[in-house]
A and B are shown apart, each in its own frame.
Chain A
Amino acid sequence: MSAELAVAGLHTGYGSSIVLRDISFEVPTGAVVCVMGRNGSGKTTLLRALMGVLPIQGSVHLGDRDITNWPGHRIHAAGMAWVPQEDAVFASLTVRQHLEIALGAADVDEGIAAAAGLFPILGERLDQPAQTLSGGERKMLGIAQALVVRPRVVLMDEPTEGVGPLIVEQLVAAIARIAARTAVVLVEQNIDTAIALGSQAHVIEHGSIVESGDIGDLHDRGILEQRLAL
């Protein structure tokens, strides 16, 4: 199976401090690959680096295109989208405006209908500023904004963190539906959620991948629990 996303020998950091070392992994078509690790291990930094926010050494390929160190908007146009952990919305812009920004030249009506299909509550809140949405609705908006352009790969940074159980259920169901047509890189602390959604997992410790494999297998051998110190 061909890889939608291939990362090889990636090093990155902030200024002179190196955060990630020699990260290599692939995301096959239709797979949900979980990136796990304790707080501060570099998971969020990895997604930021892949999205072009941080300069990197090494290489990143999206399909057969080398997108290493492209600016973020070109990476977005090439088919990779990002759901950041927090501040994933522009406070004073409406739901509709968020979707319009992501859609660019694409068909806005069709995109908005697709977003409302994924999260019906957003369809009712199209003209509301993002700052008036609940925490869960903002998460939905972040995901919808990433997905309306039908990316090849979507990077999600703890999409279920900090929201109530009911919303988590909706988000997990939505991500499962997305995964049927889009490759997903999922940063997730919750092992149950990761197992429910993911097929493979990579565990990062101190900026390096220390375990990789089938997520069910890693779980059965107790490695996830041990590495995440639960």
Chain B
Amino acid sequence: MTFSAALGFLPTDSFNVVALIAVFVLVAVGLHFTFGLLDVVNLAHGEFLLIGAYTTYQVHDTTGSVVLGMVLGPLVAALVGLVIERGVLRFLYDRPLDSLLATFGLAVIIRQTVQLIYSANPRLVPDPIGGSFTIAGLNVPWWRLIVVAIAVAVVALVATLFSKTRFGLEAQATVRNATLAETSGVSTAAVRAWLFAIGAGIAGLAGSVLAPLNTLDPQYGLLFLVNSFLVVILGGKASLRGLVIAAVVLGGSLAILQFVISTVIAQIVVLVIAVGGVRVRPILTQLIAEHRERRAVSIE
């Protein structure tokens, strides 16, 4: 009996669940930078996806190369993010409600601009590889496998960035105490600008690699906005590990539930899981801390 048949209710393309989780991770890692670390309630996060996706579409349309579009998509999104951070958001770090309003406004502007240029008609970006292979009865499309690999690579790179580089150290200091970081020699303005640009760039990357899996329209980014906030809040704002776990739990639930019930009900269930998770997380954290303490004592 194959793996997917053993699960009974899952069809042979259940690898889509894994791919959806990967997309969740990718989108949420982007928001980890702008909302988790910089504390900007970034309602334009979905629009950075949109920029990545439409850049990929445009580059393919012009040059015929999807891959080139996927390289440029994140770069364009990061550049737009950088301009927005330098032009608007850097004045609003101490004013959370104003930054919420600003990103909401920017989101509408970006969305309408995309609609103005490309109309609301759905657009398609072809699968750059195409085809699939079967393993243990599971149908694995090559492109979805690559999306999973990209998500894993991005998480590994981000983890390395924070734990191994000078920039990561400066970013941690800036996030924890910006005044002290600044007066200890860190250019917090530059650190924040880079963090925002990287977050926007990762969102753009998510939009780019996702483009062949969905039809594009100007509302495309909105689909991911709420879920990515759920993931970052459930995972703990400053924790990359928590964020990946939350993305697996929420993305996994949504993907599996979509197979068995309607998408709307599935989204409601995911919201319930998120709300319950936020309630239970402090208790779990406490239990884990106590467990670790007991183990440390017994080792001594």
CB proximity to B under 8 Å, residues A57-108 = 71-73, 75-77, 81-82, 84, 87-93, 97, 100-102, 104
Asked whether A93 and B186 contact (CB < 8 A) given A72-B179, A87-B180, A101-B181, the answer is: no
Interface size class, chain A: 20 to 34
Are A93 and B172 in contact, CB atoms less than 8 angstroms apart? yes
A130 CB, min distance to chain B CBs, angstroms:
10
Are A72 and B173 in contact, CB atoms less than 8 angstroms apart? no
* Cβ contacts under 8 Å, B183 to chain A: 51-53, 72-73, 75-76, 81-82, 84
B161 CB, min distance to chain A CBs, angstroms:
15
Are A149 and B176 in contact, CB atoms less than 8 angstroms apart? no
A208 CB–B CB distance under 8 Å: no
A12 CB–B CB distance under 8 Å: no
A145 CB–B CB distance under 8 Å: yes
Per the bound structure, the CA–CA distance linking A202 and B182 in Å amounts to: 27
Count of A-B contacts judged by CB separation below 8 Å:
63
CB within 8 A of B185: which of A76, A90, A91, A93?
A76
B170 CB–A CB distance under 8 Å: yes
B298 CB–A CB distance under 8 Å: no
Are B177 and A87 in contact, CB atoms less than 8 angstroms apart? yes
Are B172 and A90 in contact, CB atoms less than 8 angstroms apart? yes
Are B170 and A90 in contact, CB atoms less than 8 angstroms apart? no
Asked whether A101 and B186 contact (CB < 8 A) given A87-B177, A93-B176, the answer is: yes
Are B176 and A73 in contact, CB atoms less than 8 angstroms apart? no
Are A73 and B186 in contact, CB atoms less than 8 angstroms apart? yes
CB within 8 A of A101: which of B173, B179, B189?
B173
Of chain A, the residue at the smallest CB distance from B191 is A73
A107 CB, min distance to chain B CBs, angstroms:
14
Per the bound structure, the CA–CA distance linking A89 and B95 in Å amounts to: 24
Are B169 and A145 in contact, CB atoms less than 8 angstroms apart? no
* Cβ contacts under 8 Å, A104 to chain B: 185
Of chain A, the residue at the smallest CB distance from B182 is A72
B187 CB–A CB distance under 8 Å: yes
B91 CB, min distance to chain A CBs, angstroms:
14
Are A76 and B180 in contact, CB atoms less than 8 angstroms apart? no
Are A71 and B187 in contact, CB atoms less than 8 angstroms apart? yes
Per the bound structure, the CA–CA distance linking A61 and B185 in Å amounts to: 18
- Give a binary string over B71-102; 1 marks a CB under 8 Å from any A CB, 0 the rest: 00000000000000000000000000000000
Asked whether A90 and B173 contact (CB < 8 A) given A71-B187, A73-B187, A73-B188, the answer is: yes
Per the bound structure, the CA–CA distance linking A84 and B188 in Å amounts to: 18
CB within 8 A of B176: which of A71, A75, A91, A102?
A91
B286 CB–A CB distance under 8 Å: no
Per the bound structure, the CA–CA distance linking A100 and B172 in Å amounts to: 13
CB within 8 A of A97: which of B169, B177, B179?
B169
B116 CB, min distance to chain A CBs, angstroms:
39
CB within 8 A of A102: which of B177, B185, B188?
B185
* Cβ contacts under 8 Å, A91 to chain B: 176
Per the bound structure, the CA–CA distance linking A91 and B169 in Å amounts to: 13
Of chain A, the residue at the smallest CB distance from B176 is A90
Per the bound structure, the CA–CA distance linking A90 and B182 in Å amounts to: 12
Per the bound structure, the CA–CA distance linking A152 and B300 in Å amounts to: 46
Kindly list the 8 A-B residue pairs having the minimum CB-CB distance in the complex, ordered from nearest: A72-B182, A76-B185, A72-B183, A90-B176, A73-B187, A82-B183, A51-B183, A102-B184
Pairs A–B under 8 Å by Cβ, sample size 10: A51-B183, A53-B182, A72-B182, A73-B187, A75-B183, A76-B184, A81-B183, A87-B180, A93-B169, A145-B184
| A interface with B by C-beta (< 8 Å) | 51-53, 71-73, 75-77, 81-82, 84, 87-93, 97, 100-102, 104, 145, 149
Known A76-B182, A93-B169, A100-B169; further 4 A-B contacts with Cβ < 8 A: A52-B182, A72-B182, A81-B184, A90-B181
